Amino acid sequence: MSNFFTRESHARTTEELTKLRQELIEVSRAKNAAAAEGDLSENAEYHATSEKLRMVQNRIHEVEEQLTAPRFIEELRIDGDKVSIGTKVVCLNLDTDEEVVYTILGPADAVPEKNIISHQSPLARGFIGRELDDEITIEVPSGKRNFLILDIKRFDE
């Protein structure tokens, strides 16, 4: 399975992995120092660092999984005929009569408050494959939303 990134989000995620690996070393040292304090059954520092170590290890695993088989959105062929990952969709929200622009990218790029959404989100899945002038209803966790697609273009235009 491919993981979609812009080059910028891939660099951020790679940097996060580097920092996590350094943190793993530091937390491991702290755990060893706490273990040297004696009785582990009553050693709060040891238990806290053990938990922190598990959390860092889990996050490292998650990030490594994300970085497996990356596909760069900038390299995708996006013609603008249909909504897909890497597109910016200009639409009319038929419920509010407001024009809205959604940018559909990978999970690492998502910033929902700026309408930059993951291709895995319910909203994006409702748009993907649709064409210009399509009137659509999308089921999202908060209910149904109705849109008219006004324009489709590359996300970086």
pLDDT tens for 16-70 read 999 999 999 999 999 998 888 877 777 888 889 999 999 999 999 999 999 998 9
Give the mean pLDDT of the chain.
Answer: 94
Q: How wide is the angle at C-alpha 96 spanned by C-alphas 94 and 101, nearest 5°?
A: 75
Residue 1: the pLDDT is: 59
Q: For residue 140, list its beta bridge partners.
A: 143
Give residue-wise pLDDT tens across range 63-87: 999 999 899 999 999 988 999 999 9
Local confidence band at 98 (pLDDT 50, 70, 90 cut-offs): very high
pLDDT score of 143: 94
The SS3 assignment for 106 reads coil
- Distance, in Å, from the CA atom of 11 to the CA atom of 124, rounded to the nearest integer, reads 24
Q: Check pLDDT > 90 for residue 105.
A: yes
Q: Are 145 and 138 in contact (CB under 8 A)?
A: yes
Q: Is 39 exposed, middle or buried (0-12, 13-18, 19+ CB in 10 A)?
A: exposed
Q: Are 110 and 123 in contact (CB under 8 A)?
A: no
Tell me, what's the pLDDT at 2? 74
Predicted TM-score of the model (pTM): 0.83
Residue-level pLDDT at 20: 97
